[in-house]
Structure 1
Amino acid sequence: MKIAGIDSCPLGWIVIHHDAKDFGFEAVYSIDHLMEVHPDLQRLFIDIPIGLSSQNYTRRLESKLRNELGNRSSTIFTPACRKAIYAADYDEAREINKQVLGQSISIQSYNISKKIKEVDQFMMKKPGEMEVYESHPEICFKYLNGSEVIQTKKSTQEGFQDRFQLLKKIHPELEDVYQNITETFSKSKVKPDDILDAMVLCVANLKSEASGLKFLEDESNVDENGLFVKVAY
């Protein structure tokens, strides 16, 4: 089974994949581009919200994710509603979100709206046999780390090493994969923490082949477009 972990990066998306033998990587401009390059991918873990709020549905999964991470809950942000994701600009998105959900959205949330929109559109047209699941790096790291949240920030050298050492302990070959990525792409296109996040999503995806898929789910777990609102880890 060919699986992958995907995280956004300045270039577009950084992808770590595994084909039952080896890890590999790809940096692509779009998810559609990824499907052209790797049409045989069967299950994806992606660090992007899937399943969005609307007039008659409110996504509540973020509160559960924050409880999972305790004092590291700041890594969880609340995505805009679907209508706001498709807005022309930040001001319009804020007004739409206020109308639909009664609250504005942060600029950080808006800045990732383009990627959320891209995945939302892809989910409507993806091949039926392909599995695509929302995931979250810090949740994955927690459950690879014996259900203990890693307290350091991955933006620091200590935090990066805490996570990278954990991944290398499970799959030592990831050190060479990381080295190859950094030699291929500059930090302006693929940042070190983007690589780390894609790696942990791929490792969690691969681990689920043996232990089974595990999810944190919203109470009402299907949005208005029929997308499941749940995070795989």
Structure 2
Amino acid sequence: MKIAGIDSCPLGWIVVLHDTNGFSYKAVSSIEELIEFHTDLQRIFIDIPIGLSSEKFTRTIESKLRKELGKRSSTIFTPACRKAVYAKNYDEAREINKEILGKSISIQSYNISKKIKEVDQFMEIKATELEIYESHPEICFKYLNNSEIIQTKKSTKEGFQERFQLLQKHYPQLKSVYHNITETYSKSKVKQDDILDAMVLCVSNLNSKEKLRYLQDENDLDEKGILVKITY
């Protein structure tokens, strides 16, 4: 079974894959480009919202995620509604989100709208046999760490090393994977944090090979019929 963990990066997406040959990696400008290279890819964990709010549906999974991460809940943000994601600019997105959800959106939220839109559109055209699930790196790290939340910030040297060592503890070969990625792509294209996140998403995907583990809320089916759940 070929699986992948995907995180956004300045180039587009950084992907860590695993199959019978072990771990591999690739940075791509789009999800469709990834599928062109890996037509046999079967399951993806990706750090991007899947299933979006609309006039008749509101995502509520974020409140559950925040409870899961306690003091690290600041890593969870509420995505814009679907119409705002497809807006022409930030001002329009803010107005649409206010109209539909009763609140504005941050510039940080708007800045990833392009990636959210890309995945939302891909969900409509993807092959039915390809499974793609929303995930979250800090939730994955928590359950890789015996359900203990990692309190350090991965943007710090301490936080980075704590997570990197945890990954290596489970899969020592990820050390060389990480260094190969940093040698292949400059920091301006793929940041160190992006690599860590893609690796933990791939590891969680691999560890869930027999049975998916996920968080789900009661309000879980969006207007397009997409099931909103967070795999880990």
TM range (shorter): over 0.9
**Structure 1 residue runs of 4+, over 4 Å off?**
none
One-letter code aligned to 1:219: E
Instruction: Give, in whole Å, the separation in 2 of the partners of 1:219 and 1:106.
Output: 26
**Offset at residue 218 of structure 1 (A):** 2.3
CA RMSD, aligned part only?
0.6
User: For 2:208, what is the secondary structure of its paired residue?
Assistant: helix
1:57 aligns with: 57
> Is residue 15 of structure 1 aligned with residue 15 of structure 2?
yes
Q: Encode CA deviations 1:200-230: one digit per residue, 9 max, x unaligned.
A: 00000000014x1111112121100011100
2:42 aligns with: 42
Instruction: Give, in whole Å, the separation in 1 of the partners of 2:194 and 2:100.
Output: 32
Structure-to-structure mapping, 1:120-199, within 5 angstroms:
120-199=120-199
**Offset at residue 192 of structure 1 (A):** 0.2
**Offset at residue 21 of structure 1 (A):** 3.0
1:227 aligns with: 226
Q: Encode CA deviations 1:82-114: one digit per residue, 9 max, x unaligned.
A: 000000000000000000000000000000000
One-letter code aligned to 2:225: G
Give the structure-2-normalised TM-score.
Answer: 0.99
Identity of aligned residues (%): 73
One-letter code aligned to 1:48: I
One-letter code aligned to 1:67: K
One-letter code aligned to 2:78: T
**Offset at residue 182 of structure 1 (A):** 0.3
Instruction: Give, in whole Å, the separation in 2 of the partners of 1:184 and 1:3.
Output: 21
User: For 1:78, what is the secondary structure of its paired residue?
Assistant: coil
User: For 1:209, what is the secondary structure of its paired residue?
Assistant: coil
> Is residue 66 of structure 1 aligned with residue 43 of structure 2?
no
One-letter code aligned to 1:186: S
Kindly tell me the number of residue pairs found equivalent between the two proteins. Answer: 232
Q: Structure 1: which 5+ residue stretches go unaligned?
A: none
One-letter code aligned to 1:179: H
Instruction: Give, in whole Å, the separation in 1 of the partners of 2:91 and 2:224.
Output: 25
Instruction: Give, in whole Å, the separation in 2 of the partners of 1:115 and 1:96.
Output: 18
**Offset at residue 29 of structure 1 (A):** 0.2
1:215 aligns with: 214
User: For 2:91, what is the secondary structure of its paired residue?
Assistant: helix
**Offset at residue 20 of structure 1 (A):** 2.7
1:6 aligns with: 6
Give the structure-1-normalised TM-score.
Answer: 0.99
Q: Encode CA deviations 1:167-216: one digit per residue, 9 max, x unaligned.
A: 00000000000010000000000000000000000000000014x11111
1:206 aligns with: 206
One-letter code aligned to 1:29: S
Instruction: Give, in whole Å, the separation in 1 of the partners of 2:44 and 2:20.
Output: 14
One-letter code aligned to 2:135: S
